[in-house]
Amino acid sequence: MAWLQSLVRFSATFSVAALLCAMAIDARAADEEPEKARWAADEISYDSNAEIVTASGNVEISYEGNTLYADQITYDRNTDEAVAWGNIRLDDGSGNIATATSLVLTGDLKTGTVEGMRILFRDGEQLAAHSGRREDGRLNILDHAIYAACHVCDEHPGEKPVWQVKAIEVVHNEEKRTLVYKDAYLELLGVPIIYTPWLKHPDATVKRASGLLAPDFGQSSLLGFTLEVPYFWNIAPNMDLTISPLITTDERAAMFLEFRHHTRSGQYMLSGSGTYVTKRDDDAQKIPGDEFRGHLFGEGQFDLGSGWRWGFDLEVTTDDTYLRRYNVSRADSLINHLYVEHFTERNYLHIGAYAFQGLREEDVAGQTPIAAPFVQYSFVGKPGWLGGRFEVDTSALLLTRTDGSDTGRISADGRWRLPYTSPFGEIYTLTLGVRADGYYLDEPGFSPIAARADQISDDEFEGRVIPYAAMEWRLPFIRHGQSSRQIVEPMLMVVASMKDANNDLLPNEDSQSFDFDTTNLFSINRFAGLDRWEGGVRIAYGLRFRHYTDSGVRATFMVGQSYRFNEDMLLPADSGLRDNLSDIVMTASLSVPRYFDYVHRLRLDKDNLSVVRNEGTLVFGPREFRFLVGYTEARRNGFDPSLANVQEVRTGAQIRLSQYWSMNADFAYDFEADGGTLTAGGGITYEDECLRFRISARRDFTEDRDVPPSTSIGFQLVFKVLSASNTSKGRRHGDRYNPLEGPLPQQFGVIGDE
């Protein structure tokens, strides 16, 4: 119970007070000031016969930043005992204040007593005890101690804090660095709610200690009432394990684990869960038999030296719906990646392997490929002749399937880029390159990976060589204002390559999806992958505007279109690029720091300027009142009846109601015929300096086989310092994000960052 570690601070106060008394009043000579202590008093007397020194009246002793105040202090050399009483106060110089009514200590600091002790820590925590004593130079014992992390209002000093802990006795062992409590109980709003006859835990000098984390309570229409009580096991300074049993009333218990290890060369994290439950059919009805369900996630990265490193990303689950049913993740596909990388000044090498697991109902495991090996190499040369430079990108890929065709590909793209700026300010970039691809096809007719797969014989090799050239022209006009800058930049690009670059016999593994917008308007190849190449001759043209101010306000706008001299029916039906003239694409953004962020992407049909794709996100309001509105519209079935239209709106709000109260809410709705509300949820939180209380609720209206629409309610109560929050649970929701704050970090934190 980490909150009680604050009690150990009393030991430091106790010992410092003793040290000050012993050093400052060690009267080998009454008028000789100790070497490192400074002290003052209204009156100092020395009884040479009794060998007693007495300092009285505004006694003040300072030593190494600590200051002890008292009405009177005496030191008896015969008994080696120092006694202080009357308005005793110790200031440690960092904001922590200790007071007492009397203090008796021996000069060797091994024994002593204190009466009426109270400590006010700089962060607002308070500790009080009826009395305390020090024994054997290592044990500090407090009698009838009270600890509270909450502030008490100055106008109502007698008012009890929100919560406090009382114990009949607290024993701090300095050698073992432990605290032991006898007859301790927790009070909430003055009412005892938890009692324990005995409790032991490490003291505050131990930064990471094993113990329970804050529990999570909940209710779900899928799992019933739930209780999760995580236990943090500090295995070593660089290694820990969080064990989180999940108890449910409608399913059997599940176990969640998270292991983190920081090695000399890197770090890795593994998290997983498992449960053994009754089988269910796709209608969520129980059927005879039991089965194991679970998941395993992980990531790691390690330095090999000399520019080399290796790493992995691990994501596997036993079945398609487990992650969603147990609120682990809403991902519809999982990616596993093992790799080795090498970096130098101008070179990059990647050797890796990918394995995928599709979680959608239409995914077929046997037809999902394994990419092993997957090799990439990139090189950028130094500026040479005329200031141009050579660039090379190569890759090798082998895809294998247990129930489908296998393909292999070797690809190389070499090019020479020459930038030039004219005296008038025009910026030219000439690119001359050659792209070569070689394919190996094994049993191609077993799966339609190519347009004419049935005409390809087994173990056949196919290939292509594509020379290309591109010329880009830009003319930025820049205007400098007193506190702002504007840039207007017309842009033009001409690309020429082979017209029939896409052989129907070549497979298409990585270029089946396509999204045409301003980000790839001026790309030499606008396909996302390498299996398809946008051939022929085309011209892309556009206008870009940018506005910046010294206060941080940014505004951008870009509009463009392209014209191709030949139609390409291999381009996706909804790409907007099949015809000679492309659709019109636009992007606009406006950002006002801390108050306003807006991004809008638009694609208009070239014939009638109707909306084909419309996507906008607006986040506005100060930090205390933050709102989000997002809209996505994609008209796709007008190009291909097999493609579904998309029209969704999502909203979110994060509002601070008062100093301690805040709330959040989110809502998503699909306007299409079979749509409706997708999800809705929110929560309210109370948080002050010593307590965090949260209630949340969510309704998921979508259905996926044995996961019907569901409702869940969560509850968490965290006594700050008393227990840590369940950080492990937050990390396992890897795909969740707060739209008002951005994506949550995917990388695991450094061990010990809690």
Query: What SS3 string covers 153-190?
Result: CCCCCCCCCCEEEEEEEEEEECCCCEEEEEEEEEEECC
Count of positions (residues) in the chain? 754
What residue ranges define each of the domains in the chain, with the CATH number in brackets?
Answer: 2-205 (2.60.450.10)
- Residue closest to 424 by CA, chosen among 493, 477, 357: 477
> What pLDDT score does 737 carry?
40
**Residue 737, SS3?**
strand
Three-state secondary structure string covering 259-307? EEEECCCEEEEEEEEEEEEEEECCCCCEEEEEEEEEEEEEEEEEEEECC
Residue where the block lists tokens 């206008």 = 543
Q: What H or E segment, with its residue span, contains residue 193? A: strand 191-202
Judge residue 83's burial from the number of C-beta atoms within 10 Å of its C-beta, 0-12 exposed, 13-18 middle, 19 or more buried.
buried
The pLDDT assigned to 640 comes to 63
- Nearest partner of 126 among 92, 160, 101, 94, judged by Cα: 160
Does the global pTM surpass 0.75?
A: yes
Which amino acid is residue 129, in one-letter code? A
The better pLDDT of the pair 641, 450 is held by: 641
Whether the per-residue pLDDT at 307 is higher than 50: the answer is yes
For residues 64 and 589, give the distance between their C-alpha atoms in angstroms, rounded to a whole number. Answer: 57
CA distance 293 to 223: 14
**Please, are residues 391 and 377 in contact by the beta-carbon 8 Å criterion?**
no
Residue 151 — pLDDT band, cuts 50, 70, 90?
Answer: low
Is the pLDDT assigned to residue 37 strictly greater than 90?
no
Chain-centroid distance of CA 408 in Å reads: 37
Residue bearing tokens 């029209």: 647
Say how far apart CA 32 and CA 26 lie, in whole Å: 9
Q: Closest Cα partner for 216 from 300, 327, 91?
A: 327
Rg (CA), the chain: 35
Of residues 748 and 357, which shows the higher confidence score?
Answer: 357
User: Which pLDDT does position 732 carry in this prediction?
Assistant: 43
Mean pLDDT of 596-607: 93
pLDDT at 157 over 60: no
> What digits encode the pLDDT tens for the residues 628-656?
999 999 887 666 666 678 889 999 999 99
Q: Please say whether the dihedral angle defined by the alpha carbons of residues 496, 500, 506 and 507, taken in this order, is positive or negative.
A: positive
What per-residue confidence (pLDDT) applies to 230? 92
Phi, psi of 666 (to 5 degrees): -150, 155
Contact 412, 435 (CB under 8 A): yes
Residues facing 134 on adjacent strands = 112, 140
Mean residue pLDDT of the chain comes to 82
510, pLDDT greater than 70:
yes
The single-letter DSSP state of residue 709 is S
Q: What is the pLDDT of residue 663?
A: 95
663's CB contacts (< 8 A; 6+ apart) are 653, 654, 655, 657, 682, 683, 684, 685
Over range 485-492, report the average pLDDT. 96
pLDDT at 637: 66
Alpha carbons 389 and 405: distance in angstroms, whole number: 40
pLDDT score at 224: 92
Most confident of 96-100, 227-231, 414-418: 414-418
Distances (CA, A) of 199 to 139, 180, 181: 16, 6, 5
List, for residues 326-339, the tens digit of each pLDDT value. 989 888 899 999 99
- Alpha carbon distance 311, 302 (integer Å): 6
Total Cβ atoms within 10 A of residue 515? 16
Q: Are 194 and 167 in contact (CB under 8 A)?
A: no
Q: Which amino acid is at 112?
A: G
More confident residue, 155 or 144: 144
Is the pLDDT at 388 greater than 70? The verdict is yes
Return the pLDDT at 309: 97
- pLDDT of residue 103 exceeding 60, the answer is yes
Res 33 pLDDT > 90: no
Q: Which residues contact 124 (CB under 8 A, 6 or more apart)?
A: 149, 150, 151, 689, 690
Highest mean pLDDT range out of 30-44, 193-207, 553-567?
A: 553-567
pLDDT per position as a tens digit, 697-751: 999 988 888 888 989 999 888 876 655 554 444 434 433 344 454 433 333 333 3
Pick the closest to residue 228 from 210, 213, 209 (CA basis): 213
pLDDT of amino acid 589? 95
| Token digits of residue 312 | 């992995």
Task: Count the Cβ atoms, other than its own, within 10 Å of residue 305.
Answer: 7
Are 395 and 374 in contact by the 8 Å Cβ rule? The answer is yes
Q: How high is the pLDDT of residue 14?
A: 45
The string of DSSP codes covering 390-458 is EEEEEEEEEEE-SSS-EEEEEEEEEEEEEEEE-TTS-EEEEEEEEEEEEEEEESGGGTT-STTGGGPPT
- Beta strand 347-358 pairing with 406-421: unpaired
- Least confident piece of the model among 58-67, 162-171, 430-439: 58-67
638/73: higher pLDDT: 73
